[in-house]
Amino acid sequence: MSSFTASRILIFGGTGTIGRYITSALLRAKPAFQQVVLFTSPKSAQEKAAQLNEWKAQGLSVIVGDLTSEADVTAAYKGVDTVISAVGRGGLQHQFELLRLAEASESVQWFLPSEFGTDIEHNDKSPNERPHQVKLQVRKYIRENLKRLKVTYVVTGPYFDMWVNAVPDFEVAGGFLPDQKKAYVIEDGNGKVGFCTMSDVGKFVAATLKAPQESFGKALKVQSFVVTPNEVLAEYERQTGAKWEVVKTLLDEIRAFETKKWEEGHPLATLVTLRRIWAEGGTLYAQNDNHILGLGPEALDSLEAAVKKALAARR
């Protein structure tokens, strides 16, 4: 495997929230990958036809199929050396079979499971965090069952583009409301959080594929920037030329809110848990792995650029 080069790539979930940034980045990569293939459902193929046509013009091949069908997946794996799964939370459990078939395939050498988020093995509390459970099971399955296939997890922390927006009725978990010039910060707002912008997630995945030997067997922790909510607030105030109202929430209040949302079976309970984990320092490292991929600050989004984009998105 020392001479392995990722050249024929297959991506599942590549039209999704983060998948589309990954697909776009792979198509833009220089030097280009020999082949980038997207496996998508008939529903997405129909609903996202305009996006798919745009990508096809840039060299993308598209396979329409059912990712729960052994025959469809086995056929799609033919000749592919690298598989990226960016399936959504609702589809994470399908990865056991995608991995089993990849291990059995003659060509697939490398698999990047759908992580692209919080570090699920960060500390001794991580094994009990509810949103981590299926991803933890996927890692366990890989450890216990795969002998041949190489695996890399790309751990990005929260997407700044999403985290920055306070969610209606969930403002206590943190976020910003540019229209009201209002900021919801946790505790004193000085807790650091490591973020990726969604566009940088695409760059990090493309860079990972260019560095197989350095990435095999690792959970790569990558970050666009590490900042505090107060620094984000200061940047918003600078760019809007206005003083914002600040609402502070204690971590214990968020924990109580989180418990209530899980008891109610609320679909956004996961969001509250993740925001609590990030506020507790769940994205912080002595050193991240950006250097392994050769991506320095000049190649990545800055806080200034990310806030500018967040403001532009609301106009």
Ligand X SMILES: NC(=O)c1ccc[n+]([C@@H]2O[C@H](COP(=O)([O-])OP(=O)(O)OC[C@H]3O[C@@H](n4cnc5c(N)ncnc54)[C@H](OP(=O)(O)O)[C@@H]3O)[C@@H](O)[C@H]2O)c1
Binding flag, residue 270, ligand X (CB under 6 A): no
Task: Determine the Cα angle at 153 with ends 48 and 90, to 5°.
Answer: 45
Task: Give the nearer residue to ligand X in terms of CB position, either 109 or 114.
Answer: 114
Residue count, binding to ligand X (CB under 6 A): 25
Binding flag, residue 73, ligand X (CB under 6 A): no
Considering only CA atoms, which of 68, 61, 65 is closest in space to residue 44? 65
- Amino acid at site 255: R
How far is Cα 171 from Cα 184, in angstroms, rounded to an integer? 6
CB of 43 to ligand X, least distance (A): 6
Among 8, 9, 24, 44, binds ligand X (CB under 6 A): 44
Among 3, 30, 31, 90, binds ligand X (CB under 6 A): 90
Contact call for residues 61 and 35 (beta carbons, < 8 A): yes
43 is catalytic: no
CB of 146 to ligand X, least distance (A): 19
Strands 193-195 and 225-227: antiparallel
Q: Report CA Rg, the chain.
A: 20
Among 158, 174, 178, 282, binds ligand X (CB under 6 A): 158
Considering only CA atoms, which of 313, 65, 15 is closest in space to residue 178? 313
Considering only CA atoms, which of 123, 132, 253, 117 is closest in space to residue 194? 117
For ligand X, what does the binding mask look like between residues 52 and 71, x meaning CB under 6 A?
---------------x----
Cβ atoms within 10 Å of 147's Cβ, excluding its own? 5
CB of 27 to ligand X, least distance (A): 16
Binding flag, residue 202, ligand X (CB under 6 A): no
CB of 191 to ligand X, least distance (A): 17
Which residue is catalytic, options 78, 135, 182, 243? 135
Which tokens go with 207?
């860079």
CB of 205 to ligand X, least distance (A): 11
For ligand X, what does the binding mask look like between residues 204 and 243, x meaning CB under 6 A?
----------------------------------------
106-145 positions binding ligand X, by CB under 6 A: 114-117
Task: Give the nearer residue to ligand X in terms of CB position, either 116 or 176.
Answer: 116
CB of 19 to ligand X, least distance (A): 5
Binding flag, residue 193, ligand X (CB under 6 A): no
Residues that bind ligand X in the complex, under the rule CB under 6 A: 13, 15-19, 40-41, 43-44, 67, 86-91, 114-117, 156, 158-159, 162
The residues assigned a catalytic role are 135
